[in-house]
Amino acid sequence: MTINISELYGKKMISGTGHWIGEVGEVVIDLENGSVSHLLLGKLDAVRTKEVIRELFKNGVEYNRVKKVSETILVSGNQ
């Protein structure tokens, strides 16, 4: 499946059990692999590396959990 990153911003995410997770505010790219790493809920204001890592665990969804992208993003498991 191919999708433009800009299409992910603002999309609503729901879990496989139908629970609301949030809206995509930031997309994190793994530059070494050239792929999307995480979808963050809300905007990332942190500049320091430690703060970014904390945000990934606190308000992020690993992209490998994404099962379907349409009007909403379906994510496996519970959030």
- pLDDT tens digits, one per residue of 41-78: 887 765 566 777 777 777 889 999 999 999 999 999 76
Residue 3 domain flag: no
Residue 14: inside a domain, yes or no?
Answer: yes
Q: Which of 42, 12, 49, 47 is nearest to 27 (CA)?
A: 42
- Rounded Cα distance between 22 and 10, Å, is 9
| Residue 2 placed within a domain | no
pTM of the model: 0.79
How many domains does the chain fold into? 1
Tell the residue number behind the tokens 């433009």, with chain if given: 4
58 domain residue, yes or no: yes
CATH number for 32: 2.30.30.240
For residue 37, tell me if it sits in a domain: yes
The domain containing residue 67 runs over which residues?
A: 8-75
